């Protein structure tokens, strides 16, 4: 395959997948929303879930975004060191965002800082944001695309605590933040928590926690138990679907952690809304691909 043909194929795959992602939620998110609807006692809560599913059905059948805020696109790349189109990938991701903005269409959300001028195509300085991991011994590409909405970004924070604050102090800050700002992020929320020694790594881990599929747990038993405990705590706040009250405020809590300096404990928080638009695509060296996160919707969607 020529370089031009390979780049065109990569751009088309990513552009079309952005369309799929804006209209159809991942299988794990739909499954969790369905389960929460079944468990909801509040009459208003049930109506909110029903409105969400009406919206999702209309979005899928009409191929229109399920939320007017199609977000700012972020890519989390796990690239095999032998993937043959590594050098071209950043150009392809950027071009795919520009094309998807026009073709899907995606709402142009990106303004340049200081100029406060909309770029019109969802690209800008460092945007789309691309996070790179190079994976030895493989020629495959794992590509997460995340559409970061404005509302669901509002509760986010990263902060470093004094050692004496302990895990209790750090996690109390998370609960307080969700209690104060969670309603802005269109609940039920997916809550991503990063624990580390520095603010930057904690923040990045909290976003990576949002990429993990709902229904999975941290492989560390203590962290997994904490995820469950925080889910119970945050559900007890009673924010409910759409913020109208109810017995579930979160779809899940995910924690990702890194080794930390003994003298510092940093916590990062990222939140995803009910319309959690996250796609995982696996792309082979031959540019055949699988959309891992959207098996149901991908069957109905004519993809290249
Ligand atoms: S928080 Fe999510 S569902 Fe609510 S407006 Fe933003 S992108 Fe849409």
Residue 241 Cα to ligand 1 middle (Å): 13
How far apart CA 301 and CA 63 sit, in angstroms, is 9
Lowest mean pLDDT among 22-31, 58-67, 160-169: 160-169
Tokens of 77: 């790349």
149 CB near ligand 1 (under 6 Å): yes
How far apart CA 152 and CA 86 sit, in angstroms, is 31
pLDDT in tens, 161-194: 998 899 999 999 999 999 999 999 999 999 999 9
Name the residue with the closest Cα to ligand 1, atom 2: 273
Provide the 8-state DSSP code for 24: S
Residue 196's H or E segment, with its range, is strand 189-196
Is residue 229 pLDDT above 90, yes or no?
Answer: yes
- With cut-offs at 50, 70 and 90, classify the pLDDT of residue 304: confident
92 CB near ligand 1 (under 6 Å): no
186 CB near ligand 1 (under 6 Å): yes
Tell me if residue 146 falls in helix, strand or coil. Answer: strand
Q: Quickly list DSSP for 230-286.
A: HHHHHHHT---GGGS--S--EEEEEEEE----TT-EEEEEEEE-SS--EEEEEE-TT
152 CB near ligand 1 (under 6 Å): yes
67 CB near ligand 1 (under 6 Å): yes
How far apart CA 256 and CA 271 sit, in angstroms, is 14
pLDDT for 298 equals 85
pLDDT in tens, 236-290: 999 999 999 998 999 999 999 999 999 999 999 999 999 999 999 999 999 999 9
179 contact partners, CB below 8 Å, separation of at least 6? 237, 239
Residue 242 Cα to ligand 1 middle (Å): 10
**Per-residue burial over 74-105, b = 16 or more CB atoms within 10 Å of its CB, e = otherwise:** bbbbbbbeebebbebbeebbbbbbbbbbeebe
How far apart CA 22 and CA 276 sit, in angstroms, is 10
Residue 67 Cα to ligand 1 middle (Å): 6
Name the residue with the closest Cα to ligand 1, atom 7: 149
Residue 228 Cα to ligand 1 middle (Å): 25
- With cut-offs at 50, 70 and 90, classify the pLDDT of residue 303: confident
Query: Can you give the pTM of this predicted structure?
Result: 0.96
Provide the 8-state DSSP code for 111: B
Nearest atom of ligand 1 to the alpha carbon of 276: 2
Residue 185 Cα to ligand 1 middle (Å): 6
């Amino acid at each position: 395959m020529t370089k031009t043909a390979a780049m065109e194929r990569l751009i088309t795959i990513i552009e079309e997948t952005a369309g799929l992602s804006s209209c159809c939620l991942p299988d794990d998110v739909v499954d969790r929303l369905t389960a929460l609807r079944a468990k909801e006692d509040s009459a208003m809560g049930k109506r909110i879930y029903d409105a969400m599913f009406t919206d999702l059905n209309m979005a899928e059948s009409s191929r229109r975004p399920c939320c007017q805020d199609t977000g700012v696109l972020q890519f989390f790349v796990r690239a095999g060191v032998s993937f043959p189109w590594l050098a071209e990938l950043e150009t392809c991701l950027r071009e795919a965002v520009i094309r998807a903005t026009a073709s899907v269409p995606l709402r142009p959300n990106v303004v340049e800082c200081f100029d406060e001028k909309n770029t019109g195509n969802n690209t800008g300085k460092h945007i789309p944001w691309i996070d790179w991991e190079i994976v030895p011994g493989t020629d495959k590409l794992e590509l997460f695309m995340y559409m970061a909405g404005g509302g669901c970004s509002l509760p986010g924070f990263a902060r470093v605590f004094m050692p004496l604050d302990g895990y209790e102090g750090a996690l109390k800050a998370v609960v307080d933040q969700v209690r104060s700002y969670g309603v802005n992020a269109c609940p039920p929320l997916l809550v991503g928590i990063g624990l580390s020694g520095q603010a930057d790594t904690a923040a990045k881990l909290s976003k990576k926690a949002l990429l993990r599929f709902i229904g999975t747990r941290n492989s560390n038993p203590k962290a997994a138990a904490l995820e469950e405990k925080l889910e119970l705590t945050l559900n007890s706040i009673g924010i409910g679907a759409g913020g109208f009250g109810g017995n579930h405020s979160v779809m899940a809590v995910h924690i990702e952690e890194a080794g930390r300096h003994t003298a510092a404990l940093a916590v990062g928080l990222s939140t995803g809304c009910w319309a959690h638009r996250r796609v995982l695509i696996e792309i082979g060296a031959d540019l055949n691909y699988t959309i891992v996160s959207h098996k149901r919707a991908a069957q109905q969607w004519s993809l290249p």
